[in-house]
């Protein structure tokens, strides 16, 4: 039977992994709100004073950061849904990816976001077990498609493409072409599989914990 300290450490790590995305989101938005507040506050105050409003020069309109950030996010979403907006966004991305240090940060962040954003639909379809790196040892992988054309003809059998991610960063890994009969499809969702990989197996779906 596992000791109490071990169980407490496991529970703590699980709580940390579950709450980390929320904490990161809060920190990022708090930074944005405060930055916009610090920039717009004095500007709006000076405009109001110039317009004749009877306010103190040090007065700052509350909530400007929240309102401005929400409007900015909405405008970015609105622009990215039309042709001209997409082209301008692509031009901006192209410019950013030409700056040495910023390029690495932006590309890494975008890769992570794209992977998670697409994980529920077109990028990963199912979670599966494959025998890797040797017989009798299993790894968690994501089914990405079915091989056709030259690859199927050359192999002379049905092959399925799977992405074998690394822990704790699921955006890196290996593309493997596995015979269909060697793939064990699981009932867990792609999101559950990603959580399990990021946590190193600490966070597991209920069905796995119960042995269902």
According to DSSP H, which parts of 81-137 are helical?
83-96, 100-118
Which helix (H) or strand (E) segment holds residue 161: the answer is strand 159-165
Stretches where the chain sits below pLDDT 50 are 1, 119-121
The pLDDT value given to residue 50: 78
C-beta of residue 203 within 8 angstroms of C-beta of residue 196: yes
What are the pLDDT digits (tens) for 150-200?
998 999 999 999 999 888 777 778 999 999 999 999 988 888 888 888 888
Q: Please state, in angstroms and rounded to a whole number, the distance separating the CA atoms of residues 3 and 5.
A: 6
pLDDT value for 124 = 78
- pLDDT of 129 reads 95
> Residue 182: its pLDDT value, please?
94
The domain locations on the chain are 4-96, 126-210
Q: Determine the CATH number of domain 126-210.
A: 2.30.30
Q: What local confidence, expressed as pLDDT, does residue 121 receive?
A: 47
Give, in degrees to the nearest 5, the angle at Cα 182 between 177 and 187.
Answer: 100
pLDDT of residue 77: 73
Task: Answer yes or no: are the C-beta atoms of 95 and 102 closer than 8 Å.
Answer: no
Classify residue 99 as left (phi > 0), alpha (psi -120 to 50) or beta.
beta
Residue 19's pLDDT is 64
């Amino acid at each position: 039977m596992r000791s109490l300290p071990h169980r407490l450490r496991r529970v703590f790590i699980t709580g940390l992994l579950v709450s980390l995305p929320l904490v990161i989101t809060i920190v990022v938005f708090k930074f944005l709100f405060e930055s916009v507040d610090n920039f717009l506050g004095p500007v709006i105050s000076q405009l109001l004073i110039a317009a004749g409003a009877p306010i103190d020069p040090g007065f700052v309109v509350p909530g400007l950061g929240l309102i401005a950030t929400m409007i900015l996010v909405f405008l970015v979403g609105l622009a990215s849904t039309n042709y001209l907006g997409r082209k301008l966004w692509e031009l901006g991305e192209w410019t950013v990816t030409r700056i040495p240090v910023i390029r690495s940060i932006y590309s890494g962040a975008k890769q992570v976001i794209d992977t998670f954003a697409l994980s529920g639909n077109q990028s990963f379809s199912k979670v599966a077990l494959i025998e890797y790196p040797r017989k009798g040892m299993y790894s968690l992988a994501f089914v990405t498609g079915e091989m056709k054309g030259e690859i199927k003809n050359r192999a002379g059998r049905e092959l399925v493409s799977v992405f074998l991610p690394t822990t704790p960063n699921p955006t890196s890994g290996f593309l493997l072409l596995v015979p269909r009969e060697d793939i064990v499809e699981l009932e867990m969702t792609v999101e559950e599989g990603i959580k399990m990989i990021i946590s190193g197996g600490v966070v597991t779906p209920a069905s796995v914990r119960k042995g269902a």
